[in-house]
Structure 1
Amino acid sequence: METAEQVQVLTAVTEAGRDTHLITALRSAPGRFAVVRRCVDLADLLGAVGAGLGQVALVSSGLRRLDRDAVDAMRRARVGVIGVVSAGDAAGRERLAALGVDHCIPVDAEPSELAAAVLDAITAAQSSAPGDGRGSHRVVPDGGRSAFHPEIRQRSAEDDADPLEFVERGGQRGQLIAVWGPYGAPGRTTIATNVAMELAMLGTSTMLVDADTYGASIAETLGLLDDAPGLAGAARMANQGQLDAIALARYARKVTPELHVLTGVTRPARWTELRPAALEAVWSQTRSVATATVVDCGFCLEEDEAMVFDTDAPRRNGATVTTLASADVVLAVGAADPISLGRFVRGLADLREIVSDLSATHVVVNKVRRSVAGAGPEKQIGAALERFVGVQPAAFVPDDPAALDLALVSGRTLAEIAPRSAARHAILALSRRLAGLQPPPPRRRPTLLPTRRS
């Protein structure tokens, strides 16, 4: 890579004398490099980036308060980030790598090595798109057995995740399933919790996560205490580059041997704790320890916050947008009544702007009933969705208020409390498809043969 213009470099190397060596090396390096600002701390560095200075930043591994969110902010500004470590400082390299810094150089790097690293980091920053973690992975049942304890409403406080179990499971590349639906309570949490339980009962190690920044409710739905840090705690650890399998186990709750839960924020005002950059690291870790990660997302897909503020302000909907963009499969949930279907059709248009691969989106029509959709509701709703948005639902979940109310009061899923429910059978069939299994054969009613008259 050659350029006639000077490459603007920012430095934030806190150790005395080290930035002087780097500046001297840049001056003698092949190419045209200029240090436009020597930053004294992270706030100074982010201020320079926000002012439009610099194409690449040299940061030391010991820079105070450097976290994954700061690295992501620089990347969104198209500023490359290079870590500077002492010779043989393996711990420093590991910390920078955990924060998302892909380029590292020793503090005594040769001018040619430093120049090559700067140009590589700039190229990566210009071509990268933060938050794009899509893949094509399928859930594969990994053995195991299901278990549940329907005796009490509140699940046992001793059911914490086993760190050793997470370490042993680590290294997989699991599937991320995002459950989204428009405003109006179409049943996102109901579908997410029951799909997660069905996958677990099929023998798939599953992590259920509540990432709804407006109304997290998975803890209450499953009868768990909602005062645990859950996802917010895992996100804080990820933002500091300290989230691994052992740390994740500290915040996950064990519901069954194959199902673990990261509960959501207890108050909507705490949405700022779920930063997109941190959640990307959380999803990477949950993929590693679970074959399937099921995430209950918020309803709102707007990104207007970036238009209102001139600074790099937190994005309330960033958690949902980042999760949908990173998901391998999206379950788009809409209720079956006319008002909800109208919202659902408009919401799918917004969803298309985030999820480009519509083949990975499965439409789930929930609360299906004849009283609002008429006779043959599945056929009528399917025809309407085909006409207006060009999709066919992957599942129709019948409205079963008696079974759902019993599950909610008991703090259990349909599989645990009402296994013969029609809604449960529809969700089971959907979960089997997500797990790559054939749906169960339809149940046949016994036929009565006519009796012969003597």
Structure 2
Amino acid sequence: MALQVFTAVTGAAWESELVGELDRADHGVTVVRRCVDVSDLLAAASTGVGQAALLSAELRRLDGDTVARLAEAGVAVVGLVDPGDERATTRLRQLGVARVLPADADPELIAQALREAASGAPAPAGRDVGDPRAALPSLGVPPDPADRPSGRGRVVAVWGPAGAPGRSTVAVGLADEAARLGVSALLVDGDVYGGVVAQLLGLLDESPGIAAAVRQAGAGSLDVASLARLAWAVAPQFRVLTGLTRADRWPELRPQAVGVVLDEARRLAALTVVDCASCIEEDEELSFDTAAPRRNGATLTVLEAADTVLCVSGADPVALQRTVRALGELRGVLPDVRPVLVVNQVRRGPVPGDAPREIAEALSRFAGTEVTAFLPADRRAADAALAAGRTLAEVAAGSALRRGLQSLAAQLTGADVPRRRRRGRG
């Protein structure tokens, strides 16, 4: 049976000839509808008649959300661009179109790409378009960092249960300490319920930040240079992409576009730290309406794409119980994610006896997860940093919490912690 295909190729003189060639029986492809715009294409996809779509980069109002909705409808996508148009090729791939061919390709090759896309076969690796960082000497990113020979940085998602276990404090501290260890860092506020990174660092929360980056990603225009412009340069090796100014703007963070932002972040910085919201449940009402945004979709996208998921837990019995439940929920939603567990705010009192040992045993028994690091409670240092809108390293360099975050940053990045100088005897 021939593959049922939609086309949405606009502004091209070769469209009619191509459709005629594809309709030939020996190609195994039948064009069932020639769509005039995105709305027409999405309406056709919702009927369940077609299994693949052939579209051009010039299609009006084409964005990453359109490609994602086609995928949800079971319609695979193949893109066509004018021969030699690298910019259009890059844009389509950024929107999520894995297979992009020149319009003058042989019809049989185009038909084969449609059949492979519909079958779910992995797309061939795209041709390297070069690293734009080479043209950006002012970004503060080493041209050839030793810890990133492939040119792709690592993403660390800082996540954890509700109840203020200190996720944002840990995220800010990790990014800052990594930068101080010589690793270029980008801190992203991805909390869709109440991001506070801008406030913690004394930055203007009206800056474009992640919302603007996601908009550009959805339109296929985000690149490493534009992402660098949208992020605050807090220090030569430390950039910050601020979060949403209001929680009711969460629909702006489309999961597909958030994934594109992370891809560009990997090219901008050796380490990207994302401060995530705690909630990861899937709304049952929205799950039946694939066209509607999901509030927790951005968080799930970050957790799934991250190289390391850092689960931050509090150190009191209530926080530990929440952590056990949260880890169980994470396993149910993303079974392939193996979080690294960090216990924050460790102090005497809430847990009797040897608190780290008791906490480690409880989490191992009830959550089946070993604790990687314990961070001490240091209220005086944390309050001083919050009051000043600065990092712990700036206001309390010798605090126990700062040293713990420095050690954790070194562990995650592989960087060496500088030895502390001992005071001479006088």
TM-score, normalisation: structure 1: 0.83
CA distance in 1, matches of 2:100, 2:407: 48
CA positional deviation for 1:356: 4.0
1:15 maps to a residue whose letter is G
CA distance in 2, matches of 1:29, 1:107: 20
Task: State the partner residue of 1:333.
Answer: 312
The structure that has the greater radius of gyration is 1
CA distance in 2, matches of 1:434, 1:89: 40
Given candidates 365, 372, 384, the residue that maps to 1:406 is: 384
Given candidates 250, 265, 268, the residue that maps to 1:289 is: 268
Structure 2 contact 140–236 (Cα < 8 Å) conserved: no
1:386-405 aligned at under 5 Å gives the runs: 386-405=364-383
Task: State the partner residue of 2:302.
Answer: 323
Task: State the partner residue of 1:210.
Answer: 189
The 1:17/1:435 distance shift into structure 2, 3 A limit, reads closer
* SS of residue matched to 1:36: strand
1:389 maps to a residue whose letter is A
Task: State the partner residue of 1:424.
Answer: 402
* SS of residue matched to 1:380: helix
The 1:390/1:75 distance shift into structure 2, 3 A limit, reads same
Structure 1 contact 324–354 (Cα < 8 Å) conserved: no
CA positional deviation for 1:394: 1.0
CA positional deviation for 1:183: 1.1
TM-score, normalisation: structure 2: 0.89
CA distance in 2, matches of 1:98, 1:346: 36
CA distance in 2, matches of 1:442, 1:353: 43
CA positional deviation for 1:195: 0.9
Given candidates 140, 146, 159, the residue that maps to 1:180 is: 159
CA distance in 2, matches of 1:305, 1:248: 34
Which sections of structure 2, spanning at least 5 residues, go unmatched?
Answer: 124-135, 145-149
CA positional deviation for 1:323: 0.3
* SS of residue matched to 1:242: coil
CA distance in 1, matches of 2:403, 2:86: 52
RMSD, aligned CA = 2.5
Task: State the partner residue of 2:113.
Answer: 117
Q: Which deviations, in whole Å up to 9, do the C-alpha atoms of 1:139-176 show, x marking residues without a partner?
A: xxxxxxxxxxxxxxxxxxxxxxx874268749721110
Structure 1 contact 12–59 (Cα < 8 Å) conserved: yes
CA distance in 2, matches of 1:339, 1:258: 37
Structure 1 contact 166–249 (Cα < 8 Å) conserved: no
Higher mean alpha-carbon deviation, 312-321 vs 426-435, is at: 426-435
Identity over aligned pairs, percent: 48
Given candidates 351, 363, 371, the residue that maps to 2:349 is: 371
Which sections of structure 1, spanning at least 5 residues, go unmatched?
Answer: 129-161, 447-454
The 1:37/1:76 distance shift into structure 2, 3 A limit, reads same
The 1:380/1:272 distance shift into structure 2, 3 A limit, reads same
Task: State the partner residue of 1:102.
Answer: 98
The 1:440/1:166 distance shift into structure 2, 3 A limit, reads closer
1:19-58 aligned at under 5 Å gives the runs: 19-58=15-54
Given candidates 360, 363, 367, the residue that maps to 1:382 is: 360
The count of aligned residue pairs is 407
Given candidates 78, 85, 107, the residue that maps to 2:81 is: 85
CA distance in 1, matches of 2:159, 2:309: 7
